[in-house]
Amino acid sequence: MSNKDDALQEIALIARNNKLSIEDIIRALAPSVEKTERESRSIISRLFGYIGGILVFAGICIFVGMQWENFGSAARVIVTLGTGFAAFLFALAITDDSKYSRAATPLFLIAALFQPGGIFVMLDEYSSGGKPEHGVLFMAGVMILQQAATFWHTKRSTLAFTTIVFSCIFFVTLFDMMGIEENIIGLVTGLSLMCVAWALGKSPHRPLCAFWYFVGAATFLISTFDLVEGTPFEIVYLAIAAFMIYISTVAQSRTLLLVGTLAMLCYIGYFTGKHFSDSLSWPIVLILCGVLFIGLGSLAMRINRKYIQQKAG
Residue 148 has pLDDT above 60, yes or no: yes
pLDDT at 33 > cutoff 50 = no
Number of domains forming the structure of the chain: 1
| Residue bearing the bigger pLDDT, 309 or 170 | 170
Q: Is residue 78 part of a domain?
A: no
More confident residue, 259 or 276: 259
Poorest-confidence range of 44-58, 146-160, 184-198?
Answer: 44-58
Tell me the average pLDDT of the chain. 82
> Is residue 156 in some structural domain?
no
162, 189, 159: which is closest to 174 by C-alpha?
A: 189
Determine the pLDDT at residue 36.
Answer: 52
Residue 107's CB is within 10 A of a number of other CB atoms, namely 22
Residue 64 neighbours by CB distance under 10 Å: 17
**CA proximity to 256, closest of 267, 269, 246, 270:** 246
Residue 40 confidence (pLDDT): 54
In terms of average pLDDT, the best of 181-185, 202-206, 272-276 is: 181-185
- Helix H, strand E, coil C: the string for the chain is CCHHHHHHHHHHHHHHHCCCCHHHHHHHHCCCHHHHHHHHHHHHHHHHHHHHHHHHHHHHHHHHHHHHHHCCHHHHHHHHHHHHHHHHHHHHHHCCCCCCHHHHHHHHHHHHHHHHHHHHHHHHHHCCCCCHHHHHHHHHHHHHHHHHHHHHHHCCHHHHHHHHHHHHHHHHHHHHHCCCCHHHHHHHHHHHHHHHHHHHHCCCCHHHHHHHHHHHHHHHHHHHHHHHCCCCCCCHHHHHHHHHHHHHHHHCCHHHHHHHHHHHHHHHHHHHHHHHCCCCCHHHHHHHHHHHHHHHHHHHHHHHHHHHHHHHC
pLDDT greater at residue 83 or residue 8:
83
Q: Domain residues for 247?
A: 180-313
Instruction: Tell whether the model's pLDDT for residue 85 goes beyond 90.
Output: yes
Residue 102 lies in a domain: no
Q: For residue 82, is it within any domain?
A: no
Bigger pLDDT: 178 or 284?
178
| pLDDT (0 to 100) of residue 311 | 54
The pLDDT assigned to 139 comes to 95
Spell out the long-range contacts of 221-228 with Cβ–Cβ below 8 A and sequence spacing 24 or more: 221/190, 221/259, 221/263, 222/186, 223/182, 223/183, 223/184, 223/185, 223/186, 223/187, 223/190, 224/183, 224/187, 225/267, 226/183, 226/186, 227/183, 227/187
> pLDDT grade, residue 6 (50/70/90)?
low
Residue 166 predicted with pLDDT over 90: yes
Instruction: Decide: 196 and 213 in contact? Cβ < 8 Å.
Output: no
- Indicate the pTM of the whole model: 0.75
Is pLDDT above 70 for 171? yes
**Residue 1: its pLDDT value, please?**
46
Whether 81 is in a domain gets the answer no
Query: 105-118: per-residue pLDDT in tens?
Result: 888 988 998 899 99
pLDDT value at residue 29: 63
Is 64 inside a domain boundary? Answer: no
Query: What mean pLDDT comes out for the span 283-291?
Result: 71
Answer whether residue 187 is part of any domain.
Answer: yes
pLDDT at 127 over 60: yes
Express each pLDDT in 200-217 by its tens digit: 988 889 889 999 999 999
